């Protein structure tokens, strides 16, 4: 039973929700089957893990149906009925907490039944909630819905509204909703264009943005934040857009909901991770501060505070290690790795510990953690190869370095998943690390004069490479 949809649903409920679900299924309005209530009572004993060997269909059936012979069809039907109750329970608690959506649905129903008092009560509540809401896409969407039912109410109740929604107000809400939604699509598209072999244009972005801002529509900080995020992805070298977006998001943090905040701060984190390898050291502290805010506010995933997106977990560790905040980073790994999904948890734990130990210059420990890692996707493999090349360089493991550099080059040449822009950064990194290594182990000092500091932006791990360059130059001056 452990992997059944019913058990997965029950695992998703916290202690309070389990209690409420118990009351829910006892209500004859939602459930009229006593066997469903009995089954829940039997299964609930095994919460929260529901992984006991005693939890089997046969044992549950025996306790629910007493002396009756086991019937798998009856068991499956009862489980299905309990799961259906679970689905209705989720609908109920979602609607209960949906705020303005609940009010607009009741307004619509009041119109159909011509219940003016109910309509007005829910209109006042909806407008009050809207007044205190951030001007995000939900805000504009619910304004559109409220305006729709308001216009309909004039006909049904035969009344003239004092604050009739004008065409300009309706247009402003439609544009605000569309623009935020469109900007989110642009951000996703630009990230795919950068990371994968995906080509597309952004011709509409400047035209639509100019139209919106030229009309002097009601100020929406969230529109402005997303505008700057799109701009910083279109032109990564124009760092002003990043700092403007980050300042707006930080200053208006209390008026941005968790979902929006997650999207924004993941964009900020990703941008820093793109700039740091180019040698832009100011972004190391920026990334660490952003990641601390993500953890402090539990911005772990778009929809949940109980699980953490694996890529976010890795990025938080990278930022902490690069900022040399080792104590904080190691505590983060220990305290939060169990929030990573089961299928990648162990590998994520080992990779992150390997990464931290590399920055602590404990290369043998790093290799020990790496030996336990399995690849899950292309970018996991790339991250691991980069880290291994750096360790082999530091430990003077010539054969291992040359072999991995060769296989990594072939991999980059043959993969169609990684974009050419990203491939250039990785290929340049491999070429420079090979050149540095030959200079490092060579007895011919003339080779050292071929070396120049890496100033090109199309290089991965620029800060680390420059540090290795300085080490070689210092060793040469000491010998001289």
As a whole number of angstroms, the distance between CA 371 and CA 362 comes to 15
Residue 446: per-residue pLDDT = 44
Average pLDDT of the segment spanning 98-107:
92
Residue 78: per-residue pLDDT = 96
- CB distance 352 to 387 below 8 Å: no
**Weakest mean pLDDT among 28-42, 115-129, 153-167, 171-185:** 153-167
Query: What angle do the packed helices 116-131 and 100-113 form, to 10 degrees?
Result: 160
Mean pLDDT of the residues in the chain: 87
Higher-pLDDT residue of 200 and 15 is 15
**Weakest mean pLDDT among 12-26, 77-91, 251-265, 362-376:** 251-265
CA-nearest of 435, 443, 446, 426 to 469 is 435
As a whole number of angstroms, the distance between CA 116 and CA 118 comes to 6
Q: Is the pLDDT of residue 23 over 80?
A: yes
Q: What is the CA radius of gyration of the chain?
A: 29
Q: Is the pLDDT of residue 245 over 90?
A: yes
Q: Is the pLDDT of residue 148 over 70?
A: yes
Average pLDDT of the segment spanning 167-171:
82
Residue 456: per-residue pLDDT = 58
Q: Is the pLDDT of residue 138 over 60?
A: yes
- CB distance 337 to 353 below 8 Å: no
pLDDT band at 275 (very low <50, low <70, confident <90, very high): confident
Q: Is the pLDDT of residue 453 over 60?
A: no
Q: Is the pLDDT of residue 212 over 80?
A: no
pLDDT band at 132 (very low <50, low <70, confident <90, very high): confident
As a whole number of angstroms, the distance between CA 103 and CA 119 comes to 9
Instruction: Please name the residues in contact with 477: beta carbons below 8 A apart, sequence gap of 6 or more.
Output: none
Write the burial class of residue 379 (CB in 10 Å: 0-12 exposed, 13-18 middle, 19+ buried).
Answer: middle
As a whole number of angstroms, the distance between CA 59 and CA 46 comes to 12
Residue 473: per-residue pLDDT = 80
As a whole number of angstroms, the distance between CA 361 and CA 120 comes to 67
Residue 371: per-residue pLDDT = 94
Report the alpha-carbon angle 389-382-272, nearest 5. 95
Q: Which residues pair with 196 in a beta bridge?
A: 418
pLDDT band at 396 (very low <50, low <70, confident <90, very high): very high
Residue 175: per-residue pLDDT = 86
Per-domain boundaries in the chain: 5-96, 100-165, 257-369, 375-480
Residue 218: per-residue pLDDT = 62
Residue 475: per-residue pLDDT = 76
CA atoms within 13 A on the CB side of 435: 17
Residue 110: per-residue pLDDT = 94
As a whole number of angstroms, the distance between CA 11 and CA 8 comes to 5
Average pLDDT of the segment spanning 338-354:
92
Which range in 27-41, 132-146, 457-471 is most confidently predicted, on average pLDDT? 27-41
**Weakest mean pLDDT among 56-60, 194-198, 344-348, 354-358:** 194-198
Q: Is the pLDDT of residue 7 over 50?
A: yes
pLDDT band at 445 (very low <50, low <70, confident <90, very high): low
Instruction: Please name the residues in contact with 245: beta carbons below 8 A apart, sequence gap of 6 or more.
Output: 225, 228, 229, 232, 264, 267, 268
Instruction: Please name the residues in contact with 203: beta carbons below 8 A apart, sequence gap of 6 or more.
Output: none
Average pLDDT of the segment spanning 421-427:
86
Quick: pLDDT tens for 304-321.
667 888 888 998 999 999
pLDDT band at 76 (very low <50, low <70, confident <90, very high): very high
Quick: pLDDT tens for 430-442.
999 998 998 888 8
Quick: pLDDT tens for 112-125.
999 999 999 999 99
Share of the chain above pLDDT 90, in %: 52
As a whole number of angstroms, the distance between CA 268 and CA 283 comes to 10
Residue 449: per-residue pLDDT = 46
As a whole number of angstroms, the distance between CA 330 and CA 352 comes to 9
Average pLDDT of the segment spanning 86-94:
95
pLDDT band at 273 (very low <50, low <70, confident <90, very high): confident
CA atoms within 13 A on the CB side of 440: 20
Report the alpha-carbon angle 233-236-237, nearest 5. 160
Quick: pLDDT tens for 351-391.
999 999 999 999 999 999 999 998 778 888 899 999 999 99
């Amino acid at each position: 039973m452990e992997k059944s949809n019913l058990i997965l649903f029950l695992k998703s409920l916290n202690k309070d929700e389990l209690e409420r679900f118990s009351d829910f299924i006892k209500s004859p309005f939602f459930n009229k089957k006593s066997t469903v209530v009995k089954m829940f009572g039997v299964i609930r004993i095994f919460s929260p893990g529901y992984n006991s060997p005693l939890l089997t269909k046969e044992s549950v059936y025996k306790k629910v149906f007493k002396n009756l012979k086991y019937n798998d069809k009856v068991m499956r039907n009862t489980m299905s009925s309990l799961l259906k109750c679970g689905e209705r329970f989720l609908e109920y608690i979602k609607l209960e907490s949906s705020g303005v959506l609940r009010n607009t649905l009741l307004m619509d129903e009041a119109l159909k039944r011509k219940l003016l008092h109910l309509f007005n009560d829910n209109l006042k509540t909806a407008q009050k909630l809207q007044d205190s809401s951030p001007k995000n896409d939900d805000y504009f969407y619910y304004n559109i819905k409220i305006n729709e039912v308001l216009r309909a109410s004039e006909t049904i109740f035969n009344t003239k509204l004092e604050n009739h929604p004008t065409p300009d107000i309706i247009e402003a809400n439609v544009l605000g909703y569309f623009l935020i939604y469109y900007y989110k699509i642009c951000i996703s598209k630009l990230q795919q264009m950068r990371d994968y072999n995906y080509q597309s244009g952004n011709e509409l972005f400047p035209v639509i943005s100019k139209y919106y801002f030229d009309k002097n529509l009601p100020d929406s900080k969230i529109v402005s934040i997303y505008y700057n995020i799109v701009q910083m992805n279109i032109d990564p070298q124009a760092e002003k857009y990043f700092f403007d977006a980050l300042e707006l998001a930080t200053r208006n943090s209390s008026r941005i909901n968790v979902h929006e905040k997650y999207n924004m701060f993941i964009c900020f984190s990703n941008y820093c991770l793109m700039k740091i390898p180019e040698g832009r050291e100011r972004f190391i502290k920026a990334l660490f501060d952003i990641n601390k805010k993500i953890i402090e506010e539990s911005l772990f995933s778009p929809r949940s505070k109980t699980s953490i997106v694996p890529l976010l977990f890795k990025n938080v560790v990278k930022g902490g290690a690069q900022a040399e905040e080792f104590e904080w980073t190691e505590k983060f790994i220990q305290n939060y790795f169990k929030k990573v999904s089961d299928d990648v948890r162990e590998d994520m734990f080992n990779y992150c510990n390997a990464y931290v130990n590399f920055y602590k210059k404990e290369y043998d420990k790093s290799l020990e953690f790496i030996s336990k890692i399995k690849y899950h996707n292309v970018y996991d493999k790339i991250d691991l190869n980069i880290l291994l090349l750096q360790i082999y360089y530091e430990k003077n493991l010539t054969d291992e370095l040359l072999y991995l550099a060769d296989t990594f080059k072939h991999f980059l040449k043959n993969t169609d998943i990684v974009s050419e822009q990203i491939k250039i950064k990785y290929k340049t990194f491999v070429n420079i690390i090979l050149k540095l290594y030959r200079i490092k182990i060579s007895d011919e000092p003339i080779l050292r004069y071929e070396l120049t500091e890496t100033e090109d932006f199309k290089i991965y791990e620029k800060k680390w490479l420059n540090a290795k360059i300085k080490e070689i130059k210092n060793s040469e001056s000491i010998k001289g």
